Amino acid sequence: KEVNRFMRDWRTDGSVKIDRRTIDILAASHNLLDAETPYLLLSGYRSPTTNAMLRSKSRSVARNSLHMKGQAADIRLDGRSVSQISRAAISCSAGGVGKYSRSNFVHMDCGPVRIWGR
């Protein structure tokens, strides 16, 4: 319940049950980075309304985003680059990893294994 609340859509205050596989990928990547500081969560669950609003502002937001199913997170980590974080996530071979260097965050999800971004 705490994770679901923490990863809620802050714009609508809506929440869903966050898929534990997403948490596992985040944790495994964090361990590989040997980091002591926590991730900064930019986006966890997104309501359809929030996703549509973000999609209207950016072509990089998926119409059927896994964020809307509680299966994705966009994160940053102090002291680690987007490249370092994405390499750690990719090495888990456990879901999607999107690298957003211009916006300084990494997307991780528990969907099919795939990689995108620069």
Convert the pLDDT of each residue in 12-39 to its tens digit.
999 999 999 999 999 999 999 999 999 9
Angle at 13 between CA 24 and CA 112, to 5 degrees: 30
pTM of this structure = 0.94
User: What is each CA distance from 37 to 3, 22, 56, 64, 107, in whole angstroms?
Assistant: 18, 19, 33, 31, 18
Convert the pLDDT of each residue in 79-114 to its tens digit.
999 999 999 999 999 999 999 999 999 999 999 999
Neighbours of 79 (CB within 10 A): 9
Residue 118 confidence (pLDDT): 79
Residue 101 confidence (pLDDT): 96
- Asked whether the predicted pLDDT for residue 54 surpasses 90, the reply is yes
Residue 42 confidence (pLDDT): 97
User: What is each CA distance from 89 to 23, 54, 59, in whole angstroms?
Assistant: 12, 24, 23
